[in-house]
Amino acid sequence: MSGVAILAKQSGHDVTGSDANVYPPMSTQLRQQEIKLLEGYDPAHIDPTVDCVIVGNVIKRGNPAMEYVLAQGIPYLSGPQWLAENVLKHRWVLGVAGTHGKTTTSSLLAWILAEAGLAPGFLIGGVPENFGVSAQLGEQPYFVIEADEYDSAFFDKRSKFVHYHPKTLILNNLEYDHADIFPHLEAIKQQFHYLIRTVPGNGLIVRHAQEKHLEEVLKMGCWTPETTFGSQGEWQAQLLKSDGSAFTVLHQQQLVGEVHWDLLGQHNVDNALAAIAAAHHVNVPVAVAIQALSTFKNVKRRLEVKGKVNEIVVYDDFAHHPTAIATTLAGLRAKIGDKTRMIAVLEFGSYTMRTGVHKEQMQAALSDADMVVCKSTEADWGLKALLAQFKQPTILYDDIDVLVKNLVPLLHAGDHVVVMSNSGFGGIHQKLLEAIKKVTTS
């Protein structure tokens, strides 16, 4: 919604917004864009003469601001519908869908198109460091959008991406997530099928070659040419470094280039292949795409280094699904080696995670960490018992400040502390860094 607000302002509208508990980087971005953010959902925030209220999907009936909008007959739309009608119409939309990797792959693709001189528009669910902003209108015709499967609004339960009508569509992967919206994986697959129905016959679907759930969706019906990426795909990579920071790119078994960049992990190598393939569809030469990757600075909150004190590195990472947690830790482990300690500090932020839907996968997901520290969940689904089964030391805390106070004495010079959450996590990153600094200066 922060990005939607930016696009609305760049389109010439006066924009204000109401939200609760907004935290960086989005709160910072809105302030930089001079968009007025009002805390909470007071009906007084909404001028009854506004042209339109754009409703985010966290808003439910009973929300006082929404009840005011309905009672006053003020025009309203979902964010995805507003985008479709006011931004994406007449654009060549490049959509990036999948359970994992959407934000990074969207950012990669937008940066490749920008470096190719195409000045794309984009809307991304994070803040790419290269652009410093999560959305921009750009120039015709290209627009890159993170195509989310989450629902559009309380009055439109279709996935957001059904509104976007991409001509080029990346399908990274497909796993069960969003348990508050989807009762099972089949329900998500149905939405992906609806998305595929919107891609024209002269478009292109770029999909991961080894993702069986994507194959099952495509068997439900596909009217668009496909290309594949991954170890068995038309676009492949061969690692030159085990941490994924260097690799060769092959297209149809022919070497087409070599990438050296700052990102880590096999998952990011796959994200890069998908972005190269999608850019190729809009006639960006592979050499140009590879050169762009070398200057890509990743996205905030994607294994972002928040600071280094006493040789202890603290990272902020958005991972909040077992697969994302596992791939993030594996990438960092490959870089730092087996002799360096890696501590995972985890908050179960999403509905799916905090209700224990993925609890059976958590031990394997965190296996690369030398120590696991968790914030307890409100729902008691057996987190304490689960952590007791882990092979490495584990600690469970109810309070973030107590967590920080007790963790810092356990840290050693050279440790890598990866903080993983899809919320602000109570500002734990800065609290950790300040506490480490106090210990080392006292």
Q: Which of 61-75, 173-187, 233-247, 346-360 has the highest mean pLDDT?
A: 61-75
Q: Quote the pLDDT of residue 349.
A: 65
Q: Residue 176 pLDDT > 90, yes or no? A: no
Mean pLDDT, range 52-67, rounded to an integer: 95
Is domain 80-293 in CATH 3.40.1190.10, yes or no? yes
Could you tell me the two tokens for 296?
């890509």
Q: Residue 12 pLDDT > 80, yes or no? A: yes
Q: Quote the pLDDT of residue 300.
A: 66
Which homologous superfamily does the CATH classification assign to the domain defined by 304-441? Mur ligase, C-terminal domain (3.90.190.20)
Mean pLDDT, range 91-96, rounded to an integer: 98
Would you kindly state where each structural domain of the chain is located, as residue ranges?
2-78, 80-293, 304-441
Question: What b/e readout covers 186-196, taking b as 16+ CB neighbours within 10 angstroms?
Answer: eebbebbbebb
Q: Which of 76-80, 96-100, 176-180 has the highest mean pLDDT?
A: 76-80
- Lowest pLDDT segment from 28-42, 196-210, 245-259: 28-42
Q: pLDDT-derived band of residue 356, with 50, 70 and 90 as boundaries?
A: low
Rg (CA), the chain: 22
Q: Quote the pLDDT of residue 320.
A: 67
Q: How far apart are the first and last CA of the chain?
A: 44
The rounded distance, in Å, linking the Cα atoms of 345 and 325 is 11
Count the neighbouring beta carbons within 10 Å of the beta carbon of residue 362. 23
Q: Which residue has the higher pLDDT, 305 or 92?
A: 92
Q: Residue 396 pLDDT > 90, yes or no? A: no
- pTM beyond 0.85: no
Domain 2-78 CATH (choose: 3.40.50.970, 3.40.50.720, 2.30.30.230, 3.30.1330.10): 3.40.50.720
Q: Residue 440 pLDDT > 70, yes or no? A: no
Q: Residue 435 pLDDT > 90, yes or no? A: no
Domain pair 2-78 / 80-293, same fold = no
Mean pLDDT, range 397-413, rounded to an integer: 88
Amino acid at 361: Q
Q: Quote the pLDDT of residue 148.
A: 92
- Lowest pLDDT segment from 115-129, 252-266, 299-313, 358-372: 299-313
Note if the bond before 322 is cis, omega within 30 degrees.
Answer: no
Q: Quote the pLDDT of residue 153.
A: 96
pLDDT in tens, 243-270: 888 999 999 999 999 999 988 888 889 9
Q: Quote the pLDDT of residue 147.
A: 95
DSSP β-bridge partners for residue 66: none
Work out the percent of the chain whose per-residue pLDDT is above 90.
57
By the 8 A CB rule, do 271 and 289 touch?
A: no
By the 8 A CB rule, do 88 and 167 touch?
A: no
pLDDT in tens, 319-338: 767 877 888 888 889 888 88
- List C-alpha distances in Å: 244 to 228, 260, 286: 20, 9, 19
By the 8 A CB rule, do 96 and 145 touch?
A: yes
The rounded distance, in Å, linking the Cα atoms of 116 and 276 is 12
Nearest to 108 by CA among 247, 293, 278: 293
Q: pLDDT-derived band of residue 116, with 50, 70 and 90 as boundaries?
A: very high
Q: Residue 442 pLDDT > 60, yes or no? A: no
Mean pLDDT, range 157-182, rounded to an integer: 89
Pairing of strands 142-146, 92-97: parallel
